[in-house]
Amino acid sequence: MLTDVCARFGIEFPLLAFSHCRDVVAAVTNAGGLGVLGAVAYTPERLDEELRWIDDHVGGRPYGVDVLVPAKIDESARRAGRGDGGLDTMLAAVPPEHWTFLHDLFAKYDVPLPDLDRARRSATRGAGTQVTPEGATALIDVSLAHPIALIANALGTPPPAMIDRARAAGVPVAALVGTAEHARRQVAAGVDFIVAQGGEAGGHTGEISTLVLVPEVVDAVAPVPVLAAGGIASGRQMAAALALGASGVWCGSVWLTTEEAETPPAVKEKLLAATSRDTVRSRSRTGKPARQLRSAWTDAWEEPDSPAPLGMPLQMIVAEGALRHIDKIAETGHPGARALANYFVGQCVGQLNTIKPTRQVVYDMIEEFAAAVDRLNTITST
């Protein structure tokens, strides 16, 4: 395919795949697209291991890394990220009522309590720390030490240091946006690719639909290439995105039910059974609105007597260790844990009905894309 994205990265298909799973990233890259590894959950040391594995499995083909550098985080977490107290400072910033709420939620669903102190510290050392500016910078440095073809920021305008480091390494920068105004801001900051992500998407997302957002962003930032994201899980949707002016697509949810996906098996079962109405934008996992599978977990945080979710990354400290424990218990068939378990996913979850190899998902999308284009050519030629 001849698009700006294909030409820039030397890829066969203008299909970028976001995943936290290195196997999915490598499989998409090897199938002719460009896999992008989500780095937020990794320590710098673990990220280096994951990227070395990808380097060994893609044979020099291009792949990217997605970090999360939010424009705003809780000030207590910012102080901890600067080293003013470290883990204990960040843990102390979580109000006691949030731990009490978590304890009561586990009791309500008869889920065995984890070692909460261990879970809290595990979450703080993981994603909770990595979304501070200092933590994200460490991930950026590790990423740029590998032969990546793209680095992306998933939340807000990339800081100047990120863009400067990437430029020095010859690596283009992408950023996700939910409005045309945000897209203009990103381009002014020096971003090379814009990912226009509609509200249908999984994870952190705004409210404007993909069909409306993509042409607005394309017009706002031309000639900067735009990738369409949000609700794209088929070749027909890929064709529609390119018809709207996008130079390619950015997909995440579609990989969650692949054979290689990191998705916990009990959650994968829920995804396969879900409809497009079974997702919700909730602050209950990260502190910022993120679309995910609706479950007893998301419902509980919306109850009138629940504490309000904290800011990022403090809510992640509350949630991520607990949810990892829930996933483990859910694998035993425990009904309460299965009710609570969830994951980030977009509204296209209703299309995810079978488990396939990642490579097959890529090929199916491209085959359907070609059929959709042929259909349009037939219509316009009569």
Q: What is the pLDDT of residues 172-230, one digit of tens each?
A: 999 999 999 999 999 999 999 999 999 999 999 999 999 999 999 999 999 999 999 99
Which residues are CB-contacts of 370 (< 8 A; sequence separation ≥ 6)? 235
Q: Six-digit token pair at 155?
A: 């939340």
Residue 368's pLDDT band, with cuts at 50, 70 and 90, is very high
Q: Six-digit token pair at 151?
A: 């680095």
pLDDT score of 380 more than 70: yes
Greater confidence (41 vs 67) lies with 67
Helix (H), strand (E) at residue 106: helix 96-108
Q: What is the mean pLDDT of residues 22-28?
A: 98
52-67 pLDDT tens trace = 999 999 999 999 999 9
Peptide bond into 95 cis (omega under 30): no
235-293 pLDDT tens trace = 999 999 999 999 999 999 999 999 999 999 999 999 999 999 999 999 999 999 999 99
Q: What is the mean pLDDT of residues 25-31?
A: 98
pLDDT at 130: 56
pLDDT at 65: 98
CATH 3.20.20.70 residue ranges of the chain are 4-72+131-256
The answer to whether 320 and 114 have CB atoms below 8 angstroms apart is: no
Q: Which of 126, 123, 135 is nearest to 69 (CA)?
A: 135
Residue 381's pLDDT band, with cuts at 50, 70 and 90, is confident
Q: DSSP letters of 219-235?
A: HHHTTS-EEEESS--SH
Q: Is 272 exposed, middle or buried (0-12, 13-18, 19+ CB in 10 A)?
A: middle
d(CA 13, CA 305): 49
pLDDT at 87: 63
pLDDT score of 154 more than 70: yes
321-332 pLDDT tens trace = 899 999 999 999
Q: Six-digit token pair at 345?
A: 């996913």
Q: What percent of the chain has pLDDT over 70?
A: 90
Residue 80's pLDDT band, with cuts at 50, 70 and 90, is very low
* Angle in degrees, CA 281, 285, 286, rounded to 5: 95
Average pLDDT in the chain: 91
Residue 113's pLDDT band, with cuts at 50, 70 and 90, is confident
pLDDT score of 111 more than 70: yes
pLDDT score of 124 more than 80: no
SS3 195: strand
User: CATH classification of 4-72+131-256, choosing from 3.30.9.10, 3.40.1620.10, 3.20.20.70, 3.30.2310.20?
Assistant: 3.20.20.70
pLDDT score of 84 more than 50: no
The answer to whether 285 and 327 have CB atoms below 8 angstroms apart is: no
> Which of 84-98, 161-175, 243-257 is predicted least confidently?
84-98
d(CA 315, CA 97): 13
Q: What pTM does this model have? A: 0.91
5-19 pLDDT tens trace = 999 999 999 999 999
pLDDT score of 353 more than 80: yes
pLDDT score of 85 more than 60: no
pLDDT at 69: 79
d(CA 220, CA 349): 30
